[in-house]
């Protein structure tokens, strides 16, 4: 198959691709880091049967002019953001995508954010490096108490051990997982390995889907009321917008932590700020915000019981490997006459 690749492609899979693509060309974002212009793309697609893209805009015009095109593979999780699915479907072109390519990156970031806030990891690193609160101090030792003690820092009641320690372990606690898609599953798997009991809220799954993490499907109120750690991992839809409302936040335990690596509109951030400010919940890890970048001077920046990161949860160098592995599997399934799991328009292969 004559093939054009404009996606970032992991070269470990090159031999596999060559077995499919006899006439192979790399160009565009994956080579130059800049999206190809529409007219260049139309030209490059002459005679091309297989297109593997990532960020290029595969518009209706591009699809209609690509006479030979048989398969579109978009290496994004959200192929609809780059490919005109409707136009492809009209021409009977299957659009495959890299479902869950960033699931591992987001899951690791999610768990680490919860640990950073509940164990004061990010806060104490900041205090050590950029303030003299923890270094420019001495502790009295009149009785020679610490003569034999190697870990001086941990002994004094005013020392960080007493002041910034004392957070909860995850082991043995209850983890509330909201949303059980690609990312939710990966987060839940890790929470389970950490020895937590899982409560899961997702109206689209069945009890047997959560058996591998020994999870229990519950309603949202129960999850909010009983969990010690809560993670939100669902898409923004009319159903999920504002799902974690003020009423829901008010159900949380005063010792509970919340992490959001999904999207801000799912949570009432005003209500979340109030709960954090008034210490009605223990803390939060937030990677997404109502306005990005966060406006300078925003009140959320002043919270000490909150760890903020600037929308980084999906930012990992390893994603190229994941997306290539996923799309190669989808492509081989399709070419082998099978039914790929990650296809935007399954109706075109049913026909």
Footprint on residues 225-254 left by another protein (CB under 8 A) = 236
Nearest to 218 by CA among 204, 231, 200: 200
- Please give the Cα distance from 102 to 280 (Å, whole number): 33
29 lies in the site for another protein, by CB under 8 A = no
Asked whether position 112 contacts another protein by CB under 8 A, the answer is yes
Under rule CB under 8 A, residue 68 binds another protein: no
Give me the sheet containing 216-217, strands edge to edge. Answer: 216-217, 197-201, 174-178, 229-232, 257-260, 283-286, 306-308
The number of residues that bind another protein (CB under 8 A) is 85
Stretch that binds another protein, among 65-73, 104-112, 217-225, 337-345 (CB under 8 A): 104-112
Q: Which stretch binds another protein (CB under 8 A): 12-20, 36-44, 116-124, 225-233?
A: 116-124
In degrees rounded to 5, what are phi and psi of residue 188?
Answer: -60, -40
> Under 8 Å CB-to-CB from 95, ≥6 apart: which residues?
72, 73, 74, 79, 83, 85, 88, 89, 343, 344, 345
Check: CB of residue 178 under 8 Å from CB of residue 223: yes
126 contributes a contact to another protein by CB under 8 A: yes
When asked if residue 71 is in the footprint of another protein (CB under 8 A), the reply is: no
Applying CB under 8 A, which of residues 70, 253, 311, 332 lies at the interface with another protein? 311
Annotated catalytic residue 292: yes
Among 152, 219, 221, 239, binds another protein (CB under 8 A): 152
Least distance from another protein to the Cβ atom of residue 172, Å? 8
Name residue, tokens 């296809």.
343
Active site includes 263?
Answer: yes
**Measuring CA to CA, which residue among 229, 243, 236 is closest to residue 190?**
229
Residues within window 166-205 making contact with another protein, judged by CB under 8 A: 166-172, 189-190, 192-195
> Residue 213: which residues within 8 A CB-CB, separation 6 or more?
188, 189, 191, 192, 198
Residues 286-305 interacting with another protein (rule: CB under 8 A): 288, 290-298, 301
Report the alpha-carbon distance of residue 31 to residue 236 in Å, rounded.
Answer: 32
Piece of the chain touching another protein by CB under 8 A; list 17-25, 154-162, 242-250, 329-337: 154-162
Beta-sheet pairing, 71-74 with 50-53: parallel
CB of residue 111 to another protein, shortest distance in Å: 7
Which residue among the candidates 78, 239, 292, 341 is catalytic per the annotation? Answer: 292
257-260 and 229-232: which strand pairing? parallel
Of the residues 23, 40, 78, 247, which one makes contact with another protein according to CB under 8 A: 78
CA dist., res. 192 & res. 180, Å (int): 14
Q: Which of residues 296 and 351 has its CB atom nearest to another protein in the complex?
A: 296
**Least Å from the CB of residue 350 to another protein:** 28
Q: Which of 36-44, 63-71, 162-170, 246-254 is the region at the interface with another protein (rule: CB under 8 A)?
A: 162-170
Is 332 a binding residue for another protein by CB under 8 A? The answer is no
Which among 49, 90, 311, 325 is annotated as catalytic?
Answer: 311
Q: State the minimum distance, in angstroms, from the CB of residue 115 to another protein.
A: 3
Q: What is the CA angle 68-74-76, rounded to 5?
A: 170
25 is a catalytic site residue: no
Secondary structure (3-state) at 216: strand
For another protein, the closer CB: 146 or 216? 146
- Catalytic residue set: 263, 292, 311
């Amino acid at each position: 198959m004559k093939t054009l690749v404009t996606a970032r492609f992991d070269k470990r899979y090159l031999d596999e691709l060559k077995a499919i693509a006899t006439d192979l060309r790399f160009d565009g974002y994956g080579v130059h880091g800049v999206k190809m212009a529409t007219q260049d793309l139309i030209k490059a697609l002459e005679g091309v049967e297989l297109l593997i893209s990532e960020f290029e805009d595969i518009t209706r015009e591009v699809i209609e002019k690509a006479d030979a095109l048989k398969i579109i593979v978009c290496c994004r999780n959200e192929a609809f953001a780059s490919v005109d699915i409707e136009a492809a479907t009209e021409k009977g072109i299957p659009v495959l995508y890299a479902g869950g390519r960033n699931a591992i990156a987001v899951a690791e970031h999610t768990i680490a954010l919860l640990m950073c806030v509940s164990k004061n990891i990010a806060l104490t690193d900041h205090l050590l490096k950029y303030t003299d609160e923890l270094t420019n101090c001495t502790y009295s030792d009149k009785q020679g108490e610490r003569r034999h003690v190697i870990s001086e820092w941990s002994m004094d009641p005013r020392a960080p051990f007493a002041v910034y320690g004392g957070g909860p372990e995850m082991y043995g606690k209850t983890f509330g997982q909201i949303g059980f898609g690609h990312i939710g599953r990966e987060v839940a798997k890790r929470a389970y390995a950490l020895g937590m009991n899982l409560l899961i809220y997702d109206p689209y799954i069945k009890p047997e889907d959560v058996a591998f993490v020994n999870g229990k499907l519950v309603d949202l109120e129960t999850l909010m009321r009983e969990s010690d750690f809560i993670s939100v991992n669902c898409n923004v839809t009319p159903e999920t917008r504002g799902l974690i409302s003020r009423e829901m936040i008010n159900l949380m335990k005063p010792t509970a932590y919340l992490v959001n690596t999904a999207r801000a509109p799912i949570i009432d951030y005003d209500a979340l700020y109030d709960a954090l400010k008034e210490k009605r919940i223990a803390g939060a890890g937030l990677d997404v915000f109502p306005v990005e970048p966060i406006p300078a001077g925003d009140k959320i920046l002043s919270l000490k019981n909150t760890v903020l990161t600037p929308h980084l949860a999906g930012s990992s160098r390893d994603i190229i490997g994941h997306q290539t592995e996923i799309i190669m599997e989808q492509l081989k399934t399709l070419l082998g006459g099978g039914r790929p799991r990650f296809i935007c328009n399954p109706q075109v292969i049913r026909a």
